[in-house]
Amino acid sequence: MQRAIGYTDFNQPRSLIEERPARPPIIGKIRPGIKVLTKKAKENEQAVKIHDAWLARGESFEAIGEEIERKTKLRNALVPKNTGWFTCRASDFTNSATAEEILQKYGEDRGDGLKLWRFPVIFAFDDWLRNMPNQLKVWGARGLQYFSEYGTDGKRYCKMYAAPEVDQRAQRAKRLFGGRTIILRQDDAIPDGVCDPHQCPQYQERKCNLNANFIFAIPDIKGLGLIELPTNSIYVLQKAYAAMQTVALARGGRLAGLQFWISKKAVDITRIGDDGLPMRQEQMLTMLDAEIDMGALLDGADQMAPALEAASHAVALFEGPPSATPAPPVLPIAEISDAMPLAPEPAPMVAPASVAAPMPTEGDPDDRESRLADLAARLGMATGQGKMDFLTFARLEYGQGWTKRPKDVDSMIGEMQTALANPMAFREQVRARLREATPSA
């Protein structure tokens, strides 16, 4: 008898839909600013009337620009303008009531009407790149012309859609199955397909730009899908990336489910002018923040070690590679263990110890702090990766909340005092313990 056919293995595609890369459904868009009429468009009375009337109706800026072009033949009549608030319009949502719901719940009236100045978001993925996808893109009159993608070799390549093959018998383009074919760009400017903005004519002409989106849900806002917020600022992406990696470090690599806040902040940035000289300029940047107790998160993390390398990279993004500098200043225990000061406990009565033997600490929590900080500095584990290795090692040895248990701190201090005889061996012992506790890929 033939065995019944079952559908229990869902690791392979089972339909045409599952052959395509899965993308989260998007129900709307919140914009980081507005668009205004160009100087030339402001001189056209008909363009001004269309702009004002359609803006009052809540139409999108794209629709307004298309209508102005259709009626007045003015192309690119609108240009982006940064603002201190976010634009949340009904025309940018599949359900127009969603925009009004967001404004009513999280909008503020600071004297010029209800606007979205700051609002909470929840990311759906633990992978930061799925929460914040980004590419370099060139848009042409017929849509996307070039776009960047990373290869398995770690290089960034410039890609494009291949021209459809022509059916000679039917004298028309062949129908495509499974989407348009993607190929490497290979021309006089980019002969090897490698994306090099310094040699790319489109990038130098400001036609190729960074395109990125935050993709998230907003608490208490209903809808079967996520909301996106576009940005084209590398500064925004760098700061958001560092914020996500910091939280991922504290939560064992988890980002999904935690509430962040998105707002605007005026930041001075440095850019290179047309004359090649650096210049300072103030910009309103989209900022990602979270109202969380980082000390409590770090102390309560279940699996911190797997995320340490990613967090170190996030820090290095701003601090740069380590340099040959003098030993850093001694850090307090609150920075080494990311915990509250220890509660005092009476010290046991013991005989004086020799210099070589571990010395017990006193009951004063401040003394424990200073001893632990001093020992960490002398062992080369008070800053950077060494600090994080030490923190994780201590949690593995003594358990969660060890800094709140004076006996465990005394034991740790004694072990570190013994290690002063050979600091390098102790650091290797710590790294070996971390390798044992870290799941292999």
Q: Kindly state whether residues 339 and 433 are assigned to the same domain.
A: yes
Q: Give me the pLDDT at residue 317, please.
A: 43
Residue 157 counted as domain residue: yes
Distance, in Å, from the CA atom of 366 to the CA atom of 333, rounded to the nearest integer, reads 9
More confident of the two residues 145 and 310: 145
Indicate whether 370 and 411 sit together in one domain.
yes
Residue among 136, 276, 157 at smallest CA distance from 202: 136
188 in a domain, yes or no?
yes
227 belongs to a structural domain: no
Mean pLDDT value across residues 271-288 = 84
The boundaries of the domain holding residue 201 are: 129-165+180-216
- Do 333 and 432 reside in the same domain of the chain? yes
Q: Is residue 3 part of a domain?
A: no
Instruction: Tell me, yes or no, whether 248 and 185 share the same domain.
Output: no
Which range, of 133-142, 144-153, 163-172, 196-205, averages the lowest pLDDT? Answer: 163-172
The pLDDT of residue 427 is: 86
- 310 and 394 in a common domain: no
Q: Is 187 a member of any domain?
A: yes
pLDDT class of 439 with cuts at 50, 70, 90: low
Reported confidence tier of residue 353, pLDDT bands at 50, 70, 90: very low
Q: Same domain for 142 and 156?
A: yes
Rounded to a whole number of angstroms, the distance between the first and last alpha carbons of the chain is: 43
Range scoring the smallest mean pLDDT among 110-119, 240-249, 293-302, 307-316 = 307-316
* Nearest 10 degrees: Cα torsion 288, 291, 294, 298: -90
Same domain, 309 and 295: yes
**Are 314 and 259 found together in one domain?**
yes
Per-residue model confidence as pLDDT tens digits over 8-20:
555 677 887 777 7
Residues 371 and 410 occupy one common structural domain: yes
pLDDT at 349 > cutoff 60:
no
| Residues 20-60: tens digit of each pLDDT | 777 889 999 999 988 999 999 999 999 999 999 998 887 88
Residue that wins the pLDDT comparison between 362 and 389: 389
61/101 same-domain check: yes
| 335, pLDDT greater than 50 | no
- For residue 12, is it within any domain? no
Looking at the structure, do residues 157 and 253 belong to the same domain, yes or no? Answer: no
Report residue 24: phi and psi, to 5°.
-70, 140
- Give the mean model confidence (pLDDT) for residues 357-375: 62
Which pLDDT score, from 0 to 100, does residue 321 have? Answer: 46
Residue 7 lies in a domain: no
Mean pLDDT of the chain: 80
Mean pLDDT within 182-192: 91
Q: How many domains does the chain have?
A: 4
Mean pLDDT of 320-328: 42
Q: What is the pLDDT of residue 124?
A: 93
Higher pLDDT, 139 or 334: 139
Domain contains 13: no
The overall pTM is greater than 0.75: no
Residues 93 and 109 in one domain: yes
Rg over alpha carbons for the chain, rounded to the nearest Å, is 29
Region 346-362 average pLDDT: 40
Q: What is the mean pLDDT of residues 168-196?
A: 87
Whether the per-residue pLDDT at 193 is higher than 80: the answer is yes
